[in-house]
Structure 1
Amino acid sequence: MPSESKLANSSRWPSDAFTPILLALVVGVALQLQQTALWDRHIYEATLLVALVLIVLCAIKKVAVAHVGWCLALAWLSVGFASTGLRASWYQDHRLDPDLEGRDLVVVGIVSELPQFSDAGLRFRLSVESAQLQGQAIKVPRTMDVGWYAGVYPHAKEPQGLLRQPASLEAGERWQLVLRLKAPHGSSNPHGFDYELWAWEQGVHANAYVRASSQDPESINLGQTWTYPVAWARQWVRTRIMDAVPDRDRAGLLAALVVGEQAAIDRAQWDVYRATGVAHLVSISGLHITMFAWGATFLVGYLWRRSMRACSWLPASTAALLGGVVLAFGYAVFAGWGIPAQRTCVMLGAVAALKAFGLRWPWPVVWLSAFALVVGCDPWAMLQPGFWLSFVAVGVLFATDLGANSAGRTGAKAKVWSMLREQWVITTALAPLSVLLFGQLSLVSLAANAFAIPWVTLVITPLAMVGVIVPAVLPLASAAGLGLQLVLQFFAALPNAALAFPSPPLWLAVGGAIGAGMLVFPWHWTHRLLGLPLLAPVLLWQPALPPLGEFELLAADIGQGNAVLVRTATHALLFDAGPRYSLESDAGHRVLVPMLQSLGTRLNRVVLSHRDSDHVGGAAAVLAMQKQADLMSSIEREHPLQLQRPATPCIAGQQWVWDAVEFTVLHPQSGDYSKPLKPNAMSCVLRIRAAGSAPDKQRSRTALLVGDIENLQEARLVESEGLGLRADVLLVPHHGSKTSSSDVFLDAVQPTYALVQSGYRNRFGHPAAEVKLRYLSRGVTVLESSRCGAMTWRSWQAQNVLCQREVAKKYWHHQLNPPGDASSAPFLSAD
């Protein structure tokens, strides 16, 4: 009879064989994700073929034994690299033909996911069956996100009357629609959300909106297909909840918990959830699915042990494991089967399979197996925050072996202690990742989660699920949701409930994660303290700032609007705050607040050039975050922003100096406030000049920010300032409108760089071709945010402008023009 040690070794043998393979596969995928452009498909195919041949040679022992390990590692690394490259090439084949952008197409498709309703209209995902252009069949992406707007066309060049809205729209319905398409194109900012990566991973290669004016053919509902029954069931449940709970906030919470409808939760609620560290409870994230699986495992095991017959047929531990995984899969499917839920279910399934086959692998190998399986199924998951939060949380729980540490403790007190310790371990371990990914750390997270986890898991969610069947129970779930909101609002209102941190470099965050892991590892406390020197730099790190006498200008990519951050050695100013996209979304919340937080920037002043919504749309969010900043603007006294922060009027001649950098207001004049001028004519104009700049040298040390001034105001500035208008960098007036950038003005400014902040395929056609030509004919380099992303210019490096789309370039990012087209560059130069 074999000894116990031999049995143990035989059960562990596969881990020794698979570990190098799994590591090599993951490294290969990670290397491919760093590519800025895809290679020719044949290169990936040849690499994969060579790797497979090498694996076969190793298997039949045609390679020297001493080299087998290295050959296998290289082969599997190549498999990971080449297979990911091939998949990316296939994805790229489904991109929208640029020639179809802006064209009206007749498309037949099926609503494949839960439609999202809002005041602006509705959005839904369409699985395309056919498309026609002028009666001819054409190829378009198979999956696209579609907007069906209310009111008038938001993207049309002229009003075309009110849009026809559908009486109803359900998942699974087939529709014939007239759509206008464009490629997915998101903003590109430092530390910003990569929308184009998200669309790539979702398989969405086109955005569209329905042409539904009185001048367009009527959209036709071709009937329910029942092709997407889960999405239809989710919509039915959501409607049932919304009809039974009149309070939209609480109905949104219940819908999020039952069907994963996070869009039903408004922005203010999300701010509270993030500040208290409980957002994972209302997001179908990896951590959420894992918690559900643990709860389901406990429940199945508890019920299974109550039946002797069941236990004789299948051990309770095995039944609990399988039941927990199956229920977690079912919950994830019904909750939308999002990408985080998918990878978490794969991880849980992998862990369960290993345990079911009795493979007693060390926890790092179990963790790595699940990690590699998820990466193999979804390579781009490695670039998503939820992926790392999920795996780090599970890995930490494996490493700290909470179950073993609580062994011997029984009773309610031990369970409460175990739950609190588990939450403390996860909170501490994820702290560096939270700072890196979100620039925020909640100090009330432990207390808030201690209440919210059992309340949401044991009270609100079960009541909401039962309420779907028995509507009379939904008011109880709503009341429980109100209790949750009140408690979380209390925690969020506490001083320093959430601390903001600048985003550290990746290498520093990795060191911090190791340090946090050491703090929670079950070692002696003296050894745990060794993690503090690794963790502290993450919390104390500050990004580099301009030297004394110099300044940095960052023109954010916020779509159609202006928003420029100016930083000196110890001060910061924001010129304009971008547009408001909808009632629930603006450039402040979406771009500027996260960017300021990630850069660790505290504003001293906000300058709003004038009242137009594409300049002040995000101001409320920025001012709410930056309470210490004063406000300067030409907005009228009755403007709603005056209630939030009284504004000092911009008046020509105002001047201040920060860190030897001179700021001067050039427009409007004090008398302009008493004249009936258009908002554009009242735009604040700000000149920024580095230390030591003289009139004959100021071009390389000066920036001019001009808002939406037009030809008359430009002529007035030329008359009053003369050579004082010369600047190296000019924020192009009115986004490149035909009413601005006059010849006389450009001859006076003589910029080297002209920055255009305008939206991709914006309805105004900014920048106008003739305006762009005026700049190019003078040798000016024109940079557009739609091509360049965020644009950064530094006075001490005046010869360069950094384009975020070039700095962070990846192959999944939208290319505006085919390779080789001169206009595909992020800037246009007369040279």
Structure 2
Amino acid sequence: MLIALMVGLVLGANFPGQILSGCGVALICVLMIVRDILRRESAAISPLLLFAAIGYLTIQPYLSPILPPNHVSRFADGKDLEITGVIADEPVQNEKRVKFILKAETLNQKEAVGKIRVTTDKKELNPELHFGDRISITGKLKRPHNFKNPGGFDYERFLAFQKIWVTAYAKKISKKDPEKGLRWHLEDPRRNISDFIKQYGEGKEETELLRASIMGDQSGISQDTYTQFQRVGVAHLIAISGLNIAVIGSVAFAFFRWFLSQFRFFLFRAWSRKVAAILSMFPVIYYGLISGMAPPALRSVVMVLVFQAAIIFEKEGDPINTLTVAAMLILAAHPPSLFSVSFQLSFSAIFAIIYGAPHFIRNQSEEKSSSENSPQDDNSNFDYIKRKLNVPMYSSLCAVLGTLPIGMLYFHQASLIGLLANIVFIPIYSYLVVVPGLASVFAYLTNIPAASYGISFCAKVLNISLSMLKACSDLSFAAITTITPSYLEIVLFYALCWALLNIRQKIDEFEKIEKIERIERIIKIAKITLIVILVAGIGDAGYWTYQRYFHKNLRITFLDVGQGNSALIELPGGQCILIDGGGLFDSSILDVGSGVIAPFLLQKKIMTVDTLVLTHAHEDHIGGLPYIAKNFNVKQVWMNGHGEETETYHNFNKIIQQKGIDAPQFSNIFGEHEINNVKLNILHPEKDFSPHKNLNVDSIVLKLEFKDISILFTGDIDKKVEKKLVDKYQDALKSTILVAPHHGSKSSSSDMFLDAVKPEYVVISLGWKNRFHFPKSEIIARYLQHKARIFRTDLNGAISVSTDGNSLEITPVTDALQPVE
């Protein structure tokens, strides 16, 4: 049933809008089930189809909503509005910005409904904001917009799953009377506890980690610290995860069971376990409330409560069914949870532990039993220690393997020391930080001195742990950047794990015939599965090997990086060239290198970039390159050597030096190069140019030629540079595709230049509704006058070009039409 529900949710997310069809399928299934009940026949297919239809329908309110006329999304027209509403979650802050969700009440003093994702600058934030505050803001409502690249993060869907369809940047904020509901009264003590931790925590980083582990607030953790946790493979420790809440539940259960066993009343009635399970629910719920009951924490609380309920109802012998019930309850309450990374990681880890660890332990026990008659002396103490270590070791191994493909899919990284690190750090963090930390929070209500001592103790433990963690993270082999697995590869990996676990099962001749036959059948299926995996794996590896290294076409992908430029060139034979790296003018919002370009490259199984080309050092061209240079195998960098003293440009050059990347002088790369029958010709600036104050003027202009097809990359050159190029190269500028100079600015794309280039296609790389209002209408008209077909990354998303040198195939992510000016 759970699998059918999940299939329905996936279908609903990928093919939304068919509500009537979904209702029809559900109705037919209900009628079929009623018929089978009346006939007293078993129903096999119809319940599965019903749950799939339910899954499809329950996701539709998020992706195909029917909104009222006064919903805020209907006013996203770019006009300044005065919006009044209540803050629906605790604001999240970084060094420059504050973000929160506003539940709207009025727009320009007229009643309105709906949620808004609000961002504001800290400099503009005079009042301190908290959950439940009623505020008034001035700003423009906008619909969220994705970077439309293959394999990219779907930001629009991410917000839609929170029922948010508009965003706003708040220019002014004023506070009004707060809405003092139940959650507001819960948030007030949370803030007091958070302030208390800040007061008695020792060291900023330790304090912020403690707040993250207990309060669920990760906003104060530096990116460097979070990266260290990721490299070591223990990033789950700094979240309110199922692990932390399970530890609280298990410690509370052990304590209450011990306490109740002191009373004969409970012992004689065999009530100690059940009552302990009931009592241990309260610390779990309390921990969830203290953490703010954010969706990940709420899911973890529900999961742990279901397992505790299984003890009460004596169903703990079937943990997989218990896990299934927990998943069903969570998906019933919030269907989009299925697409949450935390949901996927939590349930894959727990399922892997529940299913996998007993197989390892049972197989080892059987091996030990078969060697009991060995003439060697048995070291009982050693065996005892070994058995005690087996459970955490195998549990950690299963959790690491169970979450490995998901971590590669979303984070593009695998920790090579994660298994050992989890064995060491989980007990330290869980039993010496989380448990004492939560006990200190309890003590805070009655005994502040004791609570302060507990917080101080946790901070000292964290200080030592951070030193150990940093030493592990600094190991060169601690973690590796990984390619992004396809869904087929993820299925093959899990199928391989299942087959290897089951093919090792031992058959006990004294077991019942039915069980022996079942085990033999499972082993046979496992062997067949291994053969299928081998064949499919070879096919998959062959496909990607051909796509990477043996294709004969020239491929170019103009990436959607917002208001900037970035293009990937895949030469015949597999060499890769990346021209520019996009970048936002405020890199604190998003590192385009890690958030946009790297996921695209890894999805194409590219981990080596043979040449990085930086046309010029403005932020919208260089912004993503430092991350690529640092985290990919970059062999060579081409640039003109001229740039402003910005932090990004400094970091880029520093990484080049630290990694020893070849960066030849511009005079050595000027002119023509040929790689696998593809000609690359740098036309501008001059070989011995004198740097200009305006970096745009010195943009590298690069012409790419493959047989009869050519592409001209122009950076941000202006009309004066265009005239110089025409005077010098004349008809040699003619190109099949022109990458529009300066994003379609009216300072470029002169008639004289277009007459010389004679483009059949023009690609404009720019941001959606950018502040410069590019491309200018007169430039679009000029391209059309020259009979060029226009593609735009703001409308079409990423634009893929493939050519054999004779014919040309251009495929945009979306076939959006050029708007009429």
TM-score class, shorter-chain normalisation, is 0.7 to 0.9
Q: 1:488: how far off? A: 2.0
Indicate yes or no: 2:11 matched with 1:31: yes
In the TM superposition, what whole-angstrom CA distance separates every residue of 1:614-652 from its partner, at most 9, and x where no partner exists? Answer: 212222222211354332223437651333325545458
Indicate yes or no: 2:674 matched with 1:657: yes
Alpha-carbon distance between aligned partners in 2 of 1:236 and 1:272, rounded to the nearest angstrom: 29
CA contact (8 A) 2:202 2:456 kept: no
Alpha-carbon distance between aligned partners in 1 of 2:679 and 2:254, rounded to the nearest angstrom: 66
Q: 1:510: how far off? A: 0.4
2:398 match = 425
SS in 2 for 1:420: helix
State how 1:467-486 maps to structure 2 within 5 Å.
Answer: 469=444, 470-486=451-467
Indicate yes or no: 2:793 matched with 1:800: no
CA contact (8 A) 2:408 2:483 kept: yes
Q: 1:108: how far off? A: 1.3
Q: CA RMSD in A?
A: 3.6
Q: 1:449: how far off? A: 1.0
Structure-2 change in CA distance of 1:297 and 1:732 (3 Å): farther
1:225 match = 180
Indicate yes or no: 2:129 matched with 1:182: no
SS in 1 for 2:548: coil
In the TM superposition, what whole-angstrom CA distance separates every residue of 1:61-100 from its partner, at most 9, and x where no partner exists? Answer: 1xx5567434444444333333443564336669754653
Which of 606, 619, 627 is equivalent to 1:621?
A: 627
Alpha-carbon distance between aligned partners in 2 of 1:457 and 1:643, rounded to the nearest angstrom: 39
SS in 2 for 1:826: coil
Aligned-partner residue type, residue 826 of structure 1: A
Q: 1:454: how far off? A: 1.0
SS in 1 for 2:674: strand
SS in 2 for 1:81: helix
1:193 match = 153
CA contact (8 A) 2:766 2:792 kept: yes
1:385 match = 341
Q: 1:146: how far off? A: 1.0
2:704 match = 688
Aligned-partner residue type, residue 222 of structure 2: D
Q: 1:512: how far off? A: 0.9
1:107 match = 83
CA contact (8 A) 2:202 2:459 kept: no
Aligned-partner residue type, residue 290 of structure 2: F
Q: 1:761: how far off? A: 2.5
1:592 match = 597
Q: 1:175: how far off? A: 0.9
2:433 match = 460
1:131 match = 107
CA contact (8 A) 2:75 2:141 kept: no
In the TM superposition, what whole-angstrom CA distance separates every residue of 1:136-194 from its partner, at most 9, and x where no partner exists? Answer: x2645x2112112145xxxxxxxxxxxx4314222221112212211122323333322
CA contact (8 A) 2:76 2:143 kept: no
Structure-2 change in CA distance of 1:22 and 1:501 (3 Å): closer
TM-score when normalising by structure 1: 0.82
CA contact (8 A) 2:73 2:165 kept: no
Aligned-partner residue type, residue 53 of structure 2: S
SS in 1 for 2:784: helix
SS in 2 for 1:503: coil
1:505 match = 486
Structure-2 change in CA distance of 1:648 and 1:799 (3 Å): same
Greater shift in the superposed pair: 226-235 or 658-667: 226-235
TM-score when normalising by structure 2: 0.83
Indicate yes or no: 2:291 matched with 1:335: yes
SS in 2 for 1:655: strand
2:555 match = 552
Alpha-carbon distance between aligned partners in 1 of 2:145 and 2:528, rounded to the nearest angstrom: 45
SS in 2 for 1:202: coil
Q: 1:667: how far off? A: 1.3
Aligned-partner residue type, residue 579 of structure 1: G
Structure-2 change in CA distance of 1:744 and 1:233 (3 Å): farther
Aligned-partner residue type, residue 670 of structure 1: K
1:121 match = 97
Aligned-partner residue type, residue 180 of structure 1: K
Greater shift in the superposed pair: 384-393 or 679-688: 384-393
Alpha-carbon distance between aligned partners in 2 of 1:759 and 1:296, rounded to the nearest angstrom: 53
Q: Which has the higher contact order (CA 8 A, sep 6+)?
A: 1
1:15 match = none
Q: 1:387: how far off? A: 2.8
Aligned-partner residue type, residue 553 of structure 1: I
CA contact (8 A) 1:286 1:387 kept: no
2:694 match = 678
SS in 2 for 1:331: helix
In the TM superposition, what whole-angstrom CA distance separates every residue of 1:464-489 from its partner, at most 9, and x where no partner exists? Answer: 44566334544443332232222222
In the TM superposition, what whole-angstrom CA distance separates every residue of 1:422-446 from its partner, at most 9, and x where no partner exists? Answer: 1112223333343344333211001
1:10 match = none
Alpha-carbon distance between aligned partners in 2 of 1:89 and 1:23, rounded to the nearest angstrom: 23
In the TM superposition, what whole-angstrom CA distance separates every residue of 1:763-784 from its partner, at most 9, and x where no partner exists? Answer: 1112223322322343433333
CA contact (8 A) 1:111 1:174 kept: yes
Alpha-carbon distance between aligned partners in 2 of 1:231 and 1:773, rounded to the nearest angstrom: 56
Q: Which runs of 5+ in 1 are unaligned?
A: 1-20, 152-163, 213-217, 807-824
Greater shift in the superposed pair: 409-418 or 421-430: 409-418
Aligned-partner residue type, residue 810 of structure 2: V
Aligned-partner residue type, residue 152 of structure 2: G
Q: 1:516: how far off? A: 1.8
Which of 206, 225, 239 is equivalent to 2:166?
A: 206
SS in 1 for 2:582: coil
In the TM superposition, what whole-angstrom CA distance separates every residue of 1:702-735 from its partner, at most 9, and x where no partner exists? Answer: 2222221122122222222223323333322222
Q: 1:199: how far off? A: 0.9
Structure-2 change in CA distance of 1:84 and 1:176 (3 Å): closer
SS in 1 for 2:161: helix
1:645 match = 656
2:765 match = 757
SS in 2 for 1:101: coil
CA contact (8 A) 1:286 1:386 kept: no
SS in 2 for 1:210: strand
CA contact (8 A) 1:91 1:203 kept: no
Alpha-carbon distance between aligned partners in 1 of 2:249 and 2:738, rounded to the nearest angstrom: 56
2:660 match = none
Alpha-carbon distance between aligned partners in 1 of 2:149 and 2:289, rounded to the nearest angstrom: 33
Alpha-carbon distance between aligned partners in 1 of 2:576 and 2:743, rounded to the nearest angstrom: 23
Alpha-carbon distance between aligned partners in 2 of 1:376 and 1:290, rounded to the nearest angstrom: 22
Alpha-carbon distance between aligned partners in 1 of 2:55 and 2:554, rounded to the nearest angstrom: 44
Greater shift in the superposed pair: 491-500 or 703-712: 491-500
Alpha-carbon distance between aligned partners in 2 of 1:577 and 1:243, rounded to the nearest angstrom: 43
SS in 2 for 1:673: coil
State how 1:554-569 maps to structure 2 within 5 Å.
Answer: 554-568=557-571, 569=573
Alpha-carbon distance between aligned partners in 1 of 2:202 and 2:749, rounded to the nearest angstrom: 52
Structure-2 change in CA distance of 1:723 and 1:627 (3 Å): same
SS in 2 for 1:145: strand
SS in 2 for 1:557: coil
Aligned-partner residue type, residue 629 of structure 1: K
State how 1:132-281 maps to structure 2 within 5 Å.
Answer: 132=108, 137=110, 139-140=112-113, 142-150=114-122, 164-212=124-172, 219-223=174-178, 225=180, 228-245=184-201, 247-281=203-237
Q: Which runs of 5+ in 2 are unaligned?
A: 370-379, 445-450, 508-522, 658-662
CA contact (8 A) 1:179 1:210 kept: yes
2:513 match = none
Which of 710, 715, 724 is equivalent to 1:702?
A: 710
Alpha-carbon distance between aligned partners in 1 of 2:105 and 2:216, rounded to the nearest angstrom: 27
1:79 match = 54
Structure-2 change in CA distance of 1:220 and 1:347 (3 Å): closer
